[in-house]
Amino acid sequence: MKRVRALLEFWYDFVVGDDWRVAGGVVVALAITVLAGRATSSVWWVLPVAVVVVLPWSLWRGVRASRTAARPGAATEQQGAGETVPLE
């Protein structure tokens, strides 16, 4: 059971990474492209638009988490923010 859990955690970390919203945004954008692609083949713009929206959104969350972490005594606040910022 421990090994299965470790394997699942490895694959989640490998595929999804630090911010699950990025993976979620890509899946939603692909689904929209597939559905819209049934009506017209001119749906190439959906994924570029998704990148323009998802990447800054994820960065904004990352910056917010790093600012929270930089505040004195804010280590506990950072938990649950969905972001890990190593203070190396």
Partner 1 sequence: MGPDVALFAAVFLACTVEAVEATTIVLAAGVAGDWRSAMAGVGAGLLVLAVVVGALGPALTLIPLNGLRLVVGGLLLIFGLQWLRKAILRASGHKALHDEEDIYRRELQHARAAGHETRGGVSDWYAFTVSFKGVVLEGLEVAFIALTFGSNQRDIPLAAVAAVVGVAVVAAAGFAIRAPLARVPENTLKLVVGVLLTSFGIFWGAEGAGAHWPGADAALLVLVPCVAAFVLVLIAAMRGGRQGQVGSTGQSGYAA
* 3-state class (DSSP) for residue 73: coil
Which of 7, 8, 53, 59 binds partner 1 (CB under 8 A)? It is: 59
Query: Which region, judged by CB under 8 A, interacts with partner 1, from 1-9, 37-45, 73-81?
Result: 37-45
Alpha helices in the chain (DSSP H): 2-15, 20-37, 46-70, 75-78
Any contact of residue 7 with partner 1 (CB under 8 A)? Answer: no
For residues 10-29, which are near partner 1 according to CB under 8 A? Answer: 15-19, 22-23, 26-27
**What residue type is assigned to position 23 of the chain?**
A
Shortest distance, CB of residue 14 to partner 1, whole angstroms? 8
